[in-house]
Structure 1
Amino acid sequence: METARIAQILSEMGTLLEVRGENPFRCRAYHNAAQTLKGLPSDLSEMIADGRLAETPGIGTTMFSKIVQLATTGHLPAYDDLRRATPPGLVALLRVPGLGPKKIKVLHDELKIESLADLRVAGEAKMIAPLKGFGAKTEQKILDGISFVESVGDRILQSKARRLVAPILEAIRQHPLVLRAEVCGSLRRRAETIGDLDILFSAENPVPVLDHFVKLPEVATVLAHGPTKASVRIADGVQCDLRGVEDSQFPFALHYFTGSKAHNIAIRRRALAHGYSLNEYSLSGEKGSVACKTEADLFAALGLAYIPPELREDVGEIEAAEKGPLPPLVELSDLTGTFHCHTDWSDGQATLEEMAQAAQSLGLTYLGIADHSRSAGYAGGLSIERVRQQWAAIDALNETFGGKFRIFKGTECDILGDGSLDYPDEILDGFDYVVASVHSSFGMPRDEMTARIVRAAANPRVTMLGHPTGRLLLARDAYAVDVDAVIEAAAKAGTMIEINASPHRLDLDDIHCRRAKAQGVTIVVNPDAHSTGGLADLDYGVGVARRAGLGVADLFNSAPLAKVAEALERRRKARH
């Protein structure tokens, strides 16, 4: 089992224990262990084998045995027992913004609430407000939160979908009868959130493969099981569909089941205009079926260049593919460094040295450290004195790299309510770059919030805007802001806008990335990493960039270290 999945299970166990009112120290032990795993400096299996994991702070003897069991068997009876003992409706309550385990326990103990439906009834009956620690405002926020949860349905984050589908896809690919297998649907298109998991495979006889699929350890419930398709619900409650086709049908089925629906309709319309009939199993014309080994062959038969899955949303990709090969999309390997990263100087889990080492292990040649500014007391924001101390620490560390790697001095500086910044100008001038972000007063009216961020974007000391809409996918809506006005202000000032690659944010989204590119705004992919493992989230940001049609030249952090340093220094000097 992958390290990220083990960390997720341990964190969930801590949360389930909190909901049940267990000893807070025991709950915290699971959460701490999960955070430790996310920031491991080496491969988990190697650290288990050489004994380093057992000696890692935060991993006691009991926790170590649980991690080893998960890593080697993929299962933990204690986890299964805990899930069975906790009403599933209570876990669903955790999705309501602002409703944590402690409050859920109070609601369960006092009002016998075990589901979202129970919670809505209690809220509408004004039964929540009188409870200790709640009140009328909290009650209304809970009702608003329920509406938000209902609006997003049972969708999951792309990161969770990838984690869940990986072992299943690998099991299908390992089956001796399987010729080809791929993930389809919105996950292949790298959409922000995912509904169901879809896997397609080819085999001469799909029946044994489907029989194998429904018996996989990840499967909790079999919903349907036929000769060419099976649907299951896996342990996390997510539906997973597996379809089998003949290998000659695979390219057509892969294209069809990847979608999107709008793209498929447009492609079928094009096929008809060219005298063909296209469905999920074949492309045929007057002379019979057209043989295609790959999706590229299918596009070529229709007079189109290959269209990457991320672009298949019917937003002009077909018209572009008529003119010839599409410009290459950016790849993760194209990134040379990144900027929005935190250390244990504020609310990060790793030291400066550990973050630098992790960045180098990923092949990056520079790393920007942007710990929180002084107003972010909840996140260990740096006082001016500590800012100067960190600068000295970074200077000392840079001396050890011999010019082959560099840490840039940055800050994630709070945008205050009036649009001003959290540090005085003389301190801001000492940073190599400034990421400006909103972390407070999310409920401002749209015109005020827009003016606030526009003022920050126009500030010559701001290098890039961080998570510009403030959304948390499946957890919190974006604040009310005119994103187009912010993009326009950034374009005029030469301020970059980040794609926040955290799978919980993916902000800016691909739609506004396209608009930003059209106005000449430079985009930067930042992971908002709070641990060494968080640097891997860059891949999710690259997915957003690809969906927006961005290439290497459209991203600031695809340039060599020397050019990046020169550009930052040039902007820094232009402030004066």
Structure 2
Amino acid sequence: MDKKTVINILNEIGLLLELQGENPFKIRAYYNAARALETLDEDIEILVKNNKLKEVKGIGEAINKKITELITTGRLEYYENLKASIPEGLVEMLKIPGLGPKKIKTLYDKLDIKTVGELEYACLENRLVELPGFGEKTQKKILEGIKFVKRFSNQHLFSEAYSEANLLKQYLLKTGLVIRCEIAGSIRRKKEIVKDIDILATTDNPQKLMESFVEYEKTKDVIVRGDTKTSITLGSGINADLRVVKDEEYPYALHHFTGSKEHNTTMRHRAKRMGIKMNEYGLFKGDTLIKCQDEEEIFRKLNLSYIPPEIRENMGEIEAAEKGEIPVLVEQKDIKGVFYVHTNYSDGANTLTEMVNGARELGYKYIGITDHSKSARYAHGLKEEDILRQFDEIDRLNEKYSDIKILKGIESDILKDGSLDYEEDLLKKFDFVIASVHSNFKMSKEEMTERIIKAVKSKYTKILGHVTGRLLLSRDGYDLDVYRVIDACVEYDKIIEMNSNPHRLDIDWRYSQLPRSKDDGL
């Protein structure tokens, strides 16, 4: 069992215990153990084998035994019994924004609500209004949250889906049954939210490969089973499809099942204008197959430069490929440093020194430390004395290390009136300031737009953080005119952050497809 699965189970135990109203210290122990494993560099299986896991700070004797049981047997009886004792619908309710374990327990204890459907009905019947700790406003927010959850049901963050898909792909490769195998669909296109996993493979033994597919250790249910397509549901709740095609059809099928549908439609129309029929089985001139060894050759046959999967969304990429103007995509090796870093001075898990050393191990040339500002009390925002103490530590580390530059930054809250979170005398001491909205989300579109533009105009703002404030599958972005904000950033020469937290991925990449000239500053 891999470390990520163990961490997920520990966190889930913590949540289940909260739903039971268990002792807070016991609950915290599971969350602390999960956090300890997240920062663990050693191989968890080796630590368990050598009985060294209990030496890890944050893991007590009782939890050590449970992790050992998980690693050695692949299951945990305590977890299974705990899960069985709590109605499954209560866990589903945790997906509703603003509804935590304590409130869910109250709903269960007082109104015997066990499912999202029962909760929605209770809200419509006005039954939550008199409940302690609720009221009319809370009831309205819960109803809005239920609508949000319904909108994104059966959808998953790219980071989670990609991790599952890659593990499944590696499993199939290890069977020795596949000739070629690749992840397709929206995961291959790296969409921020995906519905399911698509894997395409070629094999000399389709029946045996499908048998191996359904026998995958994470398979929860088999939806449909056949020689060319089999669908399963994984334990994480995401569906996975395996399609088997003939090896000579593989390049065409990979392009087709990667999508998007809109991209494929435009490609077919282009092929048709050239007298070519295009589908998942091949390119055909009349009845004759135009042989292609890979996707690159398919694009060449249609007089196009290669289009990477990430931009196959029918947003001008085919026209760009026709002109040979496909952009070079950023890769991990291109990243020389990071500017947006929290430490345990505010709500980060690691010390400043640990973050700097982590950046050095990645070969970064610079790192910008940007803890939360004072108004972010929920995140232990920094007071002036904390900032000065952090400045001293940064100075010492800059003297110690010559291979990396450590910059003094702050993530300053954009206050309701658009001003930044510190006085001018302090703001001017930072190397740079990231300005971000963290409160007062429910402003009108005009008010929110003006608020952010005012912050952009500040001479101390260097970077605008997570522009729309969205939390994928949890919260829509605030209502604002994104294009006006982008124009303001161009006018005042400010950097727009591309937040890579898998829950944000903000600003959305599609805003980069604006009809602008190359020299307008964007």
- TM-score interval (norm. to shorter): over 0.9
Give how far 1:42 is off. 4.7
Query: For residues 91-122 of structure 1, what are the alpha-carbon distances to aligned partners after superposition, in whole Å with 9 as ceiling and x for unaligned?
Result: 21111110011111111121121222111100
- 1:404 partnered with 2:427: no
The aligned residue for residue 480 of structure 1 is 479
How does 1:406-445 map onto structure 2 within 5 Å?
406-445=405-444
**Residues in 2 aligned to 1:86 and 1:194: alpha-carbon distance in whole angstroms:** 29
Cα gap change, 1:300/1:122 in structure 2, threshold over 3 Å: closer, same or farther? Answer: same
- Residue 24 (structure 1) shift: 2.4
- 8 Å contact kept, 1:305–1:322: yes
C-alpha displacement of 1:22: 2.6
Cα shift at 1:167? 2.0
Q: Give the residue type in structure 2 aligned to 1:124.
A: L
3-state DSSP class of the match of 2:341?
Answer: coil
CA distance 1:469–1:169, change in 2 (3 Å): same
Tell me, yes or no, if the aligned pair for 1:296 and 1:306 is still in contact at 8 Å.
yes
Alignment match, 1:252: 252
Partner of 2:357: 357
Report the equivalent of 1:125: 125
Matches within 5 A, 1:65-76: 65-71=65-71, 74-76=74-76
The one-letter code of the counterpart of 1:474 is L
Q: Matched residues in 2 for 1:516 and 1:58: separation?
A: 52
Equivalent position amino acid for 1:497 in 2: I
Shift of 1:519: 7.9
Distance 2:74 2:362 in 1: 27
Aligned to 2:502: 503
Instruction: Name the CA distance, whole Å, in 2 between partners of 1:185 and 1:350.
Output: 36
Opposite residue 441 of structure 1, the aligned amino acid is N
The answer (yes or no) to whether the contact 2:435–2:465 under 8 Å persists in 1 is yes
SS in 1 for 2:233: strand
Matched, 1:89 2:89: yes
Cα distance 1:124–1:387, how it changes in 2: closer, same or farther (>3 A)? same
Normalising by the residue count of structure 1, what TM-score does the alignment of the two structures yield? 0.87
| Counterpart in the other structure of 1:179 | 179
In the alignment, which residue of structure 2 is the partner of 1:137?
137
Q: Structure 1: how far apart are the matches of 2:51 and 2:366? A: 31
Aligned residue in 1 for 2:335: 335
AA aligned opposite 1:173: L
SS of structure 2 residue aligned to 1:500: coil
Greater mean alpha carbon deviation, residues 420-429 or residues 165-174: 165-174
Check conservation: 2:315, 2:513, Cα contact below 8 A: no
The whole-number CA distance in structure 2 between the counterparts of 1:181 and 1:56 is: 39
AA at the equivalent of 1:507: D
> Offset of 1:200 from its aligned partner?
1.0
Q: CA deviation at 1:522?
A: 7.6
Q: What amino acid is the match of 1:60? A: G
Higher mean C-alpha displacement, 288-297 vs 408-417: 288-297
C-alpha distance 455-47 of structure 1, shift in aligned 2 (>3 A): farther
Larger relative contact order (Cα-Cα within 8 Å, sequence gap ≥ 6): 1
Q: Which residue of 2 aligns with 1:8?
A: 8
Q: TM-score, normalised by structure 2?
A: 0.96
* CA displacement, residues 384-420 of structure 1 (integer Å, 9 cap, x when unaligned): 111111000110011110x211211110011111000
Question: Which sits farther off after the overlay, 439-448 or 12-21?
Answer: 12-21
CA contact (8 A) 2:184 2:254 kept: yes
Change (3 A) 1:224 1:186: same
* Alpha-carbon offset, residue 40 of structure 1: 2.6
Q: Give the residue type in structure 1 aligned to 2:405.
A: R
**How far, CA to CA, are the matches of 1:454 and 1:205 in structure 2?**
61
**Conserved 8 A contact 1:490-1:521:** no
Q: 1:339 to 1:450 in 2, by over 3 A?
A: same
Q: Which residue of 1 aligns with 2:241?
A: 241
Structure 1 residue identity aligned to 2:398: N
Judge conservation of contact 2:228–2:245 (CA < 8 Å) in 1.
yes
Distance 2:519 2:68 in 1: 50
- CA–CA distance in 1 between the matches of 2:298 and 2:73? 42
Q: Aligned-pair distance for 1:7?
A: 1.8
Query: 1:17: how far off?
Result: 2.0
Structure 1 residues 222 and 521: alpha-carbon distance in aligned structure 2, compared to 1, 3 A threshold: farther
Q: How does 1:121-270 map to 2 (within 5 A)?
A: 121-270=121-270
Contact 1:495 1:521 (8 Å CA) reproduced: no
1:100 maps to a residue whose letter is G
Letter in 2 for 1:406: K
Deviations 1:135-160 (A, max 9, x none): 11100000111111111222011111
5 Å matches for 1:272-311?
Answer: 272-286=272-286, 288-311=288-311
Q: CA deviation at 1:490?
A: 0.8
2:48–2:71 CA contact under 8 A, matched in 1: no
Deviation at 1:5, TM superposition (A): 3.4
In structure 1, what is the Cα distance between the partners aligned to 2:339 and 2:478?
A: 24
Name the counterpart of 1:451.
450
AA partner of residue 141 (structure 2):
K
Aligned equivalents of 1:517 and 1:55: distance in 2? 57
Structure-2 separation of matches of 1:500 and 1:287: 49
1:144-195 Cα deviation digits (max 9, x unpaired) = 1111111122201111112222321111111112011111111111111110
Name the residue aligned to 1:54: 54
Measure, in 1, the Cα distance between the counterparts of 2:48 and 2:331: 32
1:499/1:516 CA distance change after superposition, 3 Å: farther
* Structure 2 runs not aligned, ≥5 long: none
Greater shift, 388-397 or 271-280, is seen at 271-280
Distance 1:73 1:404, change over 3 A: farther
1:270 CA displacement? 1.4
**CA distance, structure 2, for counterparts of residue 358 and residue 50 of structure 1:** 26
Distance 2:500 2:333 in 1: 15
Question: Are 2:200 and 2:243, in contact at CA under 8 Å, matched by a contact in 1?
Answer: yes
Deviation, 1:303, is 1.2
Contact 2:360/2:403 (CA < 8 Å) preserved in 1? no
The superposition leaves residues 272-326 of structure 1 with CA deviations (integer Å, 9 ceiling, x where unpaired) of 1122222112221136112212111111111111110000000011111112262
Counterpart-to-counterpart distance in 2, 1:258 and 1:388 = 51
User: How much has 1:129 moved relative to structure 2?
Assistant: 1.6
Taking the aligned partners of 2:159 and 2:484, their CA distance within structure 1 comes to 30
Report matched runs for 1:346-385 at 5 Å. 346-385=346-385
Structure 1 residues 287 and 224: alpha-carbon distance in aligned structure 2, compared to 1, 3 A threshold: closer
Structure 2: how far apart are the matches of 1:262 and 1:516? 20
Residue identity matched to 1:17? L
C-alpha separation in 2, matches of 1:522 and 1:58? 49
* Partner secondary structure for residue 191 of structure 1: coil
Using a 3 Å threshold, how does the CA distance of structure 1 residues 131 and 54 change in structure 2: closer, same or farther? same
Q: Percent identity?
A: 45
Distance 1:74 1:316, change over 3 A: farther
* Paired letter, 1:266: T
**Distance of aligned partners of 1:160 and 1:81 in 2 relative to their CA distance in 1, 3 Å threshold:** farther
SS in 2 for 1:327: coil
